[in-house]
Chain A
Amino acid sequence: MTGSLHIDWTRCDGRGLCTELLATLLTRDDWGYPISRRGDGIRGEVPIAPGHEEAAREAVILCPKLALTLRPPAKSS
């Protein structure tokens, strides 16, 4: 069961914690904000590749700006 990671851009401050926990999915853009490595994140929804669910959950809990939310697979809008 993989879903996506929703980034609330209005909260994200580019601290970079999520890009360290999910280094294979995310990197940092010119200004330090998380960006999908595959360039497939649209509107702040980053698909979570299989095997990264635990790291994604951790990122949600540890994000200092509370900018991350996990979304179940079916309910992508």
Chain B
Amino acid sequence: MTTPSAALRNVHPVPPPAGAARLFLAGSRAGYSQHLQAYGSIDVGAVAPGFLDVVEASGLTGRGGAAFASWRKMAAAAQAGGRGLFSARPVVIANGAEGEPLSHKDAALLAHAPHVVLDGVLVAAAALQTSHAYIYVTAETMPSVQSALAERTDARHIRPVEADDTFISGEASAVVNKIQGGPSLPLDKLRRLSDAGLRGRPTLVLNVETLAHIGLLARFGVDWFRSVGTARDPGTRLVTVAGAGTDQVLEVPGDASLHGILRSSGIHPEELSAVLVGGYHGRWVRPLDYRLSPAGSPETLVRPGVGVIYVLSPDQCGLAVTAQITEYLAGQSARQCGPCMFGLRAMADVLNRLADGERDPRLVAELERLGRIVSGRGSCHHPDGTVRMVSSALETFSDDVREHLIGRCTRIQRGTR
């Protein structure tokens, strides 16, 4: 692996952070001076289009759920920006909507390390040679972002926009729709956002955590970035461990062990019945020692998605919880695309019947059939993600399905309904 152009000139050199604690080094609710003290200052003016090679060499993937290669997204927007007679300057959007109800990592990042994110926005915009930048955050985190923006003179052009408090408000085209004055609902994808996004401009939407890593990458370089994690999943990521008392946000190395993460949250994996990894569009797994990585075999790893690790307590029925989540996801459909609007509702109904112990052996086949006709038939991935989560539940809770179909539940207490 080549490492094009080392780290940018660090104006006030500070040694690069050692170990997997990278994003919160400036401490709790860090202001700009604490930020500079912890990380040193950065010469954003020195960031050139060549920085895209640095991002490529780093192997950074998006931390907002899809784990797409960040450099590809950046390169697509950069190329579209340079094309055509009337080439339009690209737009960079930092996405902190965090619609996943159990995820708190982006809120934690924006509350405690907003300047790490803002550095990333400035670096990404410089790499795309643009000054059009937005930061899209929830009402809860807006005050922290606004005071961070007011604290520094180099970020005044980054415009904060408030995200709606819905599950899909962070879907990339919903973000664009909202910022250009529409509702925060997904748009049809006849053209890619990187070609024609916000008001027709090439648009780069990156999760705030992804941008935070980009800001640090510009400071400390590829070798530093890759010194934590593994070759297939370099760097660190934020995860939220939820469902076991107090929710916790942790920064973990790439390719981390699921058991290791659970143990460091004070949870004994051997006492669990199942874990939902990746948020409500994630995958239910038995609490085996999977690796948390976006690339590799599903036998040994589970994709981190938005980084939520939801722990099912032994007295909860996984089918009841899955029915509840599906019910929620059906309610969060944008109601724009028919198969999603009607299909998720239908899936939730069948799951409720199964969870409630209806002894109809056709229920499982009906769920699978609905999954097939819902999947891939919407303008965003909301239906697909829901179907994936449900089908992983049928697999992981196959014993529970069998018991329910003969009128029993293996759990003492039914869900939390």
Tell me the A residues contacting B by CB distance below 8 Å: 6, 8-14, 29-33, 35, 39, 41-44, 69, 77
Contacts and interface: CB of A to CB of B under 8 A. Distances in A.
A10 B188 contact: yes
A3 to B, nearest CB: 13
B339 interface: yes
Interface in B174-231: 185-190, 192
Which of A10, A13, A14, A41 counts the most chain B CB atoms within 10 A? A10
B192 A35 contact: no
Contact of A30 (B337, B346, B378): B346
Which of A32, A41, A77 counts the most chain B CB atoms within 10 A? A77
Contacts of A44: 188, 376-379
Interface residues of B, number: 21
Interface in B83-142: none
Given A10-B186, A69-B190, A41 B376 contact: yes
A9 B339 contact: yes
Contacts of B192: 77
B372 interface: yes
B376 A43 contact: yes
B342 A30 contact: yes
B104 to A, nearest CB: 30
A72 to B, nearest CB: 13
B314 interface: no
A65 B372 CA distance: 25
Contact of A13 (B188, B338, B342): B338
Contacts of B336: 9-10
Which of A9, A14, A69 counts the most chain B CB atoms within 10 A? A9
Given A9-B337, A10-B379, A14-B338, A29 B373 contact: yes
Contacts, number: 58
A65 B349 CA distance: 29
A8 B190 contact: yes
A40 B215 CA distance: 41
A14 B336 CA distance: 12
A69 B189 CA distance: 11
A29 B376 CA distance: 13
A33 B377 contact: yes
A30 B188 contact: no
A35 B192 CA distance: 23
Contacts of A33: 338-339, 377
Interface string B369-388: 00011001111000000000
Nearest to A33: B338
A48 to B, nearest CB: 16
Contacts of B185: 10
Given A39-B372, A77-B192, A9 B377 contact: yes
A31 B376 CA distance: 16
Nearest to A45: B376
Contact of B337 (A10, A32, A39, A42): A10
Contacts of B346: 30
A43 B372 contact: no
Given A30-B342, A33-B339, A9 B188 contact: yes
Given A69-B190, A77-B192, A9 B378 contact: yes
Contacts of A11: 188
Nearest to A40: B376
6 contacts: A9-B377, A9-B378, A29-B339, A30-B346, A32-B338, A69-B190
Contact of B339 (A8, A31, A42, A77): A31
